[in-house]
Amino acid sequence: MAATPRKRQLGRPVSIVGAGMSQFGAFKGKTSRDLFVEAFRDMTDHLDQGVGVEDIECGYIGNYSSDLFEGQGHTAPIIADWLGLTPAPVTRIENACASSGSAMREGIMAIASGLYDIVLVGGVEKMTDLPTEGVTDVLASAADGLYEVPAGLTFPGIYGALAKAHMDRYETNLSHLLKVGIKNHNNGALNPKAQFNTTIRGMMERRIARAEQRGEPVPDWKDEIEFLNDPRANPWIAWPLRLYDCAPITDGAACILLVAAEIANSFTEKPVHIAGTGQATGRPLHDAEELTSLSAAKYAAAQAYQMAGISPQDIQVAEVHDCFTIAEIIATEDLGFFAPGEGPHAVDEGRTALDGDRPVNTSGGLKAKGHPVGASGVAQIIEVFHQLRGEAGARQLPGSNLEVGLAHNVGGTGGTCVVNILRRG
């Protein structure tokens, strides 16, 4: 890649005019096509002005591995069929957990090129048909199968090594990781679509109540931190990461309607425009430029900021890829919200909370909202879309000057990063 990337711009402006999500959770008997129909119907039910399915010219669907999770490959035409989109061209985009953030970029470029005016972008993952061990193996296929997996590294293991490196180099400690999880569940408790629509305190209190009901020894946790420090409640997954540091296994789908900006007002009076977009690749952690940062995020963010003509300080709301709590801390540094090593201090100061000066993951993040791998990128964009339009309900950030938001979607351990910046119309 050239040392100084040239300033990139879209051929013509692109806008988001509608969004929909399925419930995120575990849904026995529902397949990826069923979940996607739910997301699509949520979108069409809430479009300010209707869109006919026949108006959609093209689709990009992010999905990591319906092949391994469901035994179903070639997912795009099946979803097209279930939506009644056939014969419109639909393509599945795969970049691990950045699949639908990447699909978003493909949709943006398809419209910016002039080839299409109205494009459906979405994502879906159905993960819960497999037992946990099976899911673990499928997720591990996003790591380097030749040089990471044989070394015994699992997906949480690689992020565990990243966390240990960050803790060695900076003042990051285990309590910072726990605080990120607590903050995200506080937000997720306000998100009706979230898989874990509850605070950690709520989960703790329910476990105490259950023990009382069953006449079992009642745990004496006084607060969330004690609960999260109890290995019976929060066991080690890959030290220093524990259960509550890890995003859950989730079924879910999300989709948005992208249109050429010049026709956006026939769909809604409140379109949200694409201000900037960037994408980059990264190497496995052992070949990374640094062991405490995802370089792909820095490159992608630089492209997006440059295209949008803004700096990190201008971002008022951000959804970042918290597949693990450490990933959120590192993301806030990679995105330039805080200097390297300052991420944990910002957590201590509550700066990334809903009422902080740099709110991050108002949706509850991947941790509380859920992480249906292929759907997460678009779900992040949808949260920013709703925040900018004043529709985020109990999670709505205050103030009428909310204009610019960012979504940061990572694949694997930084093999892919996509950053999209949205601006209120």
Partner 1 sequence: MADDSRGFTAASFYDYLKEGKLMGVRCRDCGKLSAEPRPMCPSCHSQDVEWRQFSGRGQLATFTCISVVPEGMARRGYGRNNPYCSGIVILEEGPRISARISGVDAANPQNIPTGMTLAVDFGDVDPERPALAFRPA
The residues that are catalytic are 97, 371
Provide the minimum distance between the beta carbon of 141 and partner 1 in the complex, in angstroms, as a whole number: 11
133 vs 220 by CB, closer to partner 1: 133
Q: Nearest to residue 102, comparing CAs of 320, 378, 327?
A: 378
State which residue, 88 or 280, has the beta carbon closest to partner 1: 280
Q: How far is the CB of 170 from partner 1 (least distance, A)?
A: 13
The CB-of-347 to partner 1 minimum distance in angstroms stands at 21
Residues lying near partner 1 in the complex (CB under 8 A) = 133, 136-137, 140, 144, 146-154, 156-158, 160-165, 168, 235-241, 283-287, 291
C-beta atoms surrounding 217 within 10 Å: 7
* Nearer of residues 162 and 410 to partner 1, judged by Cβ: 162
Question: Which amino acid does the sequence have at 342?
Answer: E
Classify 17 as helix, strand or coil. Answer: strand
Q: Which is nearer to partner 1, 15 or 292 (CB)?
A: 292
Residues in CB range of 254: below 8 A, 6 or more apart: 19, 20, 21, 22, 39, 100, 122, 123, 124, 375, 378, 379, 382
Indicate the helix (H) or strand (E) that contains 137. helix 132-140
* Smallest distance from partner 1 to CB 221, Å: 21
Tokens of 165: 């490196």
Handedness of CA 78, 80, 82, 86 (dihedral sign): negative
CA dihedral of residues 141, 146, 147, 149 (deg, nearest 10): 40
Assigned token pair, 34 = 């069923």
| Minimum gap (Å) between residue 130 Cβ and partner 1 | 12
> 144 or 319, CB closer to partner 1?
144
